[in-house]
Structure 1
Amino acid sequence: MNRFDILVIGAGMGGMCTAAQLAVNGYHVLVVESLPRIGGRCSTIDHKGYKLTTGVLGVEMSGGVESFFHSIGVPFDIRPAGDFHYLINGRIIKVPSGKGLRYLLEAAGADESEIELLMGAISRALNWKIPSPPVSFQEWLSQYTQDPKIQAIFQTIVATQLFVGLGGITAESFFRYIRSNQGIKPFGYAPAGNIALPLELERIILENGGEVWTRARAERILMENKSVKGALINHNGRVDTITASAVVSNIGPLNTVKLAGRENLDHDHLKQLDTLLIPAQAICLQIALKCRLFTPSHLLVAGSRRINSLHQPTAMCPDLAPQGHHLLVATAITGSSSELMDLEQEIDLCMQDLKELFPGFQDKTEILITGVHRDRYPVLHTVPGRDVSIRTPVINLYNVGDGVKEAGYCGLPATVESANRVAADIHKRINLWRSDEATAYQTF
């Protein structure tokens, strides 16, 4: 059968959450994925006995992701990573639960008068008036402090939460994120690997009559009179015409354009995509350890050349590595989001950081995978504050994922939130189509 209510292109978490929500609501859903596995950047690669991430490191807890899973009756098996730990000037600083930014700045030895000035400015930004959009967070911060320790700490916070540097995000976007999340939420690790999350979503889709095809590549989105009709899907050696009432693209707004054809989309939409979107880039080194390099599950690194976070998920989830071994995941946000990284130089800077942080590093480790998130697979399809609408100019053709983030969201929570919006919009419109008012509405 090649007729579905909803066709979802791409089985990343945005696509899978949208499909799961709609399947639970009674829609006949098909998800197609070109890769042999589902999950996108929230999946798992088995390599030499290790379960390696395809992108997502820590999974936010006590927030929108967990709420979504509970809302559709899906298990959310995440083990807490514990209190936040920072590595600053060779010192590990633990930020106990209930403590916040002031505690961290004081523990790092920042000047008390600058802390007072900065905390007052932050309070005004959050509780009175958010800074105007053109001002970068780096420009905003420099008004209140030139202390390199403080700037390094904020660089780490921005890099690990928003995947950009201080100059790569507006002050407005930063404070909307902090306000929306009421700070920075705790996170944890999936004991069976990140793929456990999309697998649970796949299970709920299948149980509700939907289908998920892997190794199924979308060739072209089909439309008529500026309204989507389905897509051509290359699956099992043949090209099938899949018809659907709505199509959801989870492959990024620019890739959606390629499938739909630029000639079929309005000029204003194309111009917006061409000028607004700036993909975020990152490097992720996944490293085998003979023994743990530090006691906590993670360290957020301040003041390095490139490395901004170090995760030892095996501290909480030993099954992610062979028995008696550990896994280290080191991440780095590259120098610029608007220019393609010099890969060799960026990796060299990462390795310099690791060798300085851990003397003898090369003698007790093995690089398993060097993950490069750019081009077709960036860490984000666009940096926060430069997102586009979930709706495209083609009626009933949607984008979902981290290219259509709502202000105040980023990463996996942003992807899930976008899925909620897309599913709700489709549900509202398809309910309308099924009503007696549908004809009058659509011909208006």
Structure 2
Amino acid sequence: MKTIVVGSGLGGLLSAAYLAKSGHDVEVFEALPFTGGRFTNIDYKGFKLSTGALHMVPHGDSGPLSQMLKKLNADVNIVTSNPSSVIRMPANDNDTDYKNGFRDMAFHDFKVPFSLINRIKIAFLAFTTKYFPPKKGTFDDWIKHHINEKWATRIANSFCGWSISLKSSDVSAKEVFEIISNLYRYSGPGVPTGGCKGITNALVEIIQENGGKIYTGKEVTEIITSNNHAKGVVADGDKYYSDLIISDIGHIETNRLCKNVTETEEYVQYKNQLQNIKSSAGIKISLACDEPLIGHGGVVLTPYSKRIDGMNEVTNVDKTLAPEGKHLVMTHQCLRWDRLDDIEEEIELGLQDIRDIFLNKDYEVLMVQSYHDGWPVNRSASSQDLSNKTPISNLYVVGDGAKGEGGIEIEGITLGVLNTMDMVLS
């Protein structure tokens, strides 16, 4: 079967590798001059900075992405972080910031700062929500209804901001509990050797070894349809026909490329759903230092910061991501929808957080990257993803615009790809 993949981000490469190994004749079209999209590396001053996602696999060597890579026999090594994650707390329990120093608390001890009655509530709710997850409302709504303690909001916002680039008031409680279930089902994070590019390079190799072709710098400008069936694409003015099309550019952009579509009831309903999709936005700040600022390869959540939600220092795991004798720290902060016109101010608040957290420490700000609009954190914010299937036959959407439930970033992308592969290969 002839398959065309539009876009070579992680979702597109995973799909192309899987289908190529399954015997499909695969062609991948990428508008950029390189593969990987927001999941690869750029070289800057000898540092391997990521184009989007941080150099970290949320569920390490046992999660959906790692399992799929193993099934593909991809030459990828994911090193489990130890510790997996910590929470950076003020040194004094009465402080509300890091200006008097800090202490790190293991993530699994997050219940310690709660009052006794709320610790009891959390233990009970952890059991009941496993079988009766919330059906409506945001995670913030759920917290205020059941716990209503400032610490709960702090840690919820930091966790959601780091993991899905949303605040707890912007994501459904149902989705967050799916994410928490996956944390228990799989494990904590890991660092892929070679960073993001270590994974995408391995997938490119699989595609090419199995006869697939990858075209970079070749933008798809139309998805050819007839009677609401996808037939092929137009790229740089040339037509390429196929039996199946997998799009890695999100539902909104995919639909924009479809021409001559009949307005069936199903299609009109689909178009209406597209109007409600919001992307998630964020800011990443990369730091260079001679001595470790964190000292391990796990996640550091920062619930007492003004903007920074979390950070990591992956060079404690893979030294090749920085020049010899240097370390690389990456911070991430959620960029709220109502602050998209104030990005410069948000960046400065993030930089101030870094100054407070690393008081009296030496470091260099390497790069500040913002992710929004056409280059977002996720094309569909978590809990807003649509199905991988579209109302146009033979056309499916994968990637950060169609993630699986409960998947943190690239794990969600993988869950969406696996769901799509089940549909197209059944």
Fold conserved between structures, TM > 0.5: yes
Matched, 1:51 2:48: yes
Structure 2 partner of 1:185: 187
Structure 2 partner of 1:400: 398
- Contact kept, 8 Å, 1:85 with 1:296, in 2: the verdict is no
Q: CA deviation at 1:179?
A: 2.3
- Identity percentage over the alignment? 25
Matched, 1:142 2:144: yes
Q: Which moved more, 1:179-188 or 1:352-361?
A: 179-188
- Contact kept, 8 Å, 1:262 with 1:270, in 2: the verdict is no
Q: CA deviation at 1:146?
A: 3.2
2: CA distance, partners of 1:73 / 1:208: 12
> What CA deviation, in whole Å up to 9, does each residue of 1:242-264 have, x standing for no partner?
11101111011111122114865
1: CA distance, partners of 2:419 / 2:146: 38
Structure 2: gaps of 5 or more residues: 92-101
- Contact kept, 8 Å, 1:137 with 1:167, in 2: the verdict is yes
2: CA distance, partners of 1:19 / 1:63: 20
- Contact kept, 8 Å, 2:224 with 2:259, in 1: the verdict is no
- 2:111 pairs with one of 102, 105, 111: 105
Matched, 1:164 2:166: yes
2: CA distance, partners of 1:427 / 1:232: 25
Q: What is the identity, as a one-letter code, of the residue corresponding to 2:29?
A: V
Structure 1 partner of 2:134: 131
**Equivalent residue runs for 1:188-203 within 5 Å:** 188-203=190-205
Structure 2 partner of 1:414: 412
Q: Which moved more, 1:154-163 or 1:393-402?
A: 154-163
Structure 1 partner of 2:98: none
1: CA distance, partners of 2:387 / 2:338: 21
Structure 2 partner of 1:318: 319
Structure 2 partner of 1:229: 231
Question: How has the CA–CA distance of structure 1 residues 257 and 44 changed in structure 2, closer, same or farther, with 3 Å as cutoff?
Answer: same
- Contact kept, 8 Å, 2:89 with 2:105, in 1: the verdict is no
Structure 2 partner of 1:432: none
Question: How has the CA–CA distance of structure 1 residues 243 and 372 changed in structure 2, closer, same or farther, with 3 Å as cutoff?
Answer: same
2: CA distance, partners of 1:82 / 1:425: 37
> What CA deviation, in whole Å up to 9, does each residue of 1:284-337 have, x standing for no partner?
111222322232234211121110111111111111111111111011012x24
Q: CA deviation at 1:119?
A: 2.4
Q: Which moved more, 1:307-316 or 1:254-263?
A: 254-263
Q: CA deviation at 1:271?
A: 0.7
1: CA distance, partners of 2:33 / 2:123: 49
- TM norm structure 2: 0.91
2: CA distance, partners of 1:247 / 1:403: 16
Q: What is the identity, as a one-letter code, of the residue corresponding to 2:255?
A: V
> What CA deviation, in whole Å up to 9, does each residue of 1:161-206 have, x standing for no partner?
2321010111111112222442673112223221110111111111
1: CA distance, partners of 2:360 / 2:217: 42
Structure 1 partner of 2:377: 379
> What CA deviation, in whole Å up to 9, does each residue of 1:34-91 have, x standing for no partner?
1122112221001111100112221131111111011121122122221122101243
Matched, 1:18 2:44: no
Structure 2 partner of 1:209: 211
Structure 2 partner of 1:329: 330
Structure 2 partner of 1:92: 103
- 1:40 pairs with one of 23, 37, 41: 37
Q: CA deviation at 1:400?
A: 0.7
Q: Which moved more, 1:77-86 or 1:26-35?
A: 77-86
Q: CA deviation at 1:94?
A: 4.3
Question: How has the CA–CA distance of structure 1 residues 271 and 339 changed in structure 2, closer, same or farther, with 3 Å as cutoff?
Answer: farther
- Contact kept, 8 Å, 1:93 with 1:104, in 2: the verdict is no
Q: CA deviation at 1:230?
A: 0.6
Matched, 1:345 2:356: no
Question: How has the CA–CA distance of structure 1 residues 262 and 378 changed in structure 2, closer, same or farther, with 3 Å as cutoff?
Answer: farther
Structure 1 partner of 2:268: 267
Q: What is the identity, as a one-letter code, of the residue corresponding to 2:251?
A: P
Q: CA deviation at 1:353?
A: 0.7
Q: What is the identity, as a one-letter code, of the residue corresponding to 1:53?
A: S
Matched, 1:359 2:362: no
1: CA distance, partners of 2:86 / 2:400: 27
Question: How has the CA–CA distance of structure 1 residues 255 and 174 changed in structure 2, closer, same or farther, with 3 Å as cutoff?
Answer: same
Structure 1 partner of 2:221: 219
- Contact kept, 8 Å, 2:294 with 2:312, in 1: the verdict is no
> What CA deviation, in whole Å up to 9, does each residue of 1:392-427 have, x standing for no partner?
221111111122222222310111111122222222
- TM norm structure 1: 0.87
Q: CA deviation at 1:227?
A: 0.8
2: CA distance, partners of 1:338 / 1:110: 30
Q: What is the identity, as a one-letter code, of the residue corresponding to 1:293?
A: L
Question: How has the CA–CA distance of structure 1 residues 8 and 270 changed in structure 2, closer, same or farther, with 3 Å as cutoff?
Answer: same
Structure 1: gaps of 5 or more residues: 429-444
- Contact kept, 8 Å, 2:308 with 2:332, in 1: the verdict is yes
Q: CA deviation at 1:357?
A: 1.2
SS in 2 for 1:299: strand
2: CA distance, partners of 1:323 / 1:195: 19
SS in 1 for 2:350: helix
SS in 2 for 1:368: strand
SS in 1 for 2:181: helix
2: CA distance, partners of 1:29 / 1:404: 21
Q: What is the identity, as a one-letter code, of the residue corresponding to 2:156?
A: F
Q: CA deviation at 1:341?
A: 4.7
Q: What is the identity, as a one-letter code, of the residue corresponding to 2:288?
A: A
- 2:121 pairs with one of 117, 121, 125: 117
- Contact kept, 8 Å, 1:8 with 1:247, in 2: the verdict is yes
- Contact kept, 8 Å, 1:252 with 1:401, in 2: the verdict is yes
- Contact kept, 8 Å, 1:19 with 1:31, in 2: the verdict is yes
- Contact kept, 8 Å, 2:86 with 2:300, in 1: the verdict is yes
Q: CA deviation at 1:105?
A: 2.1
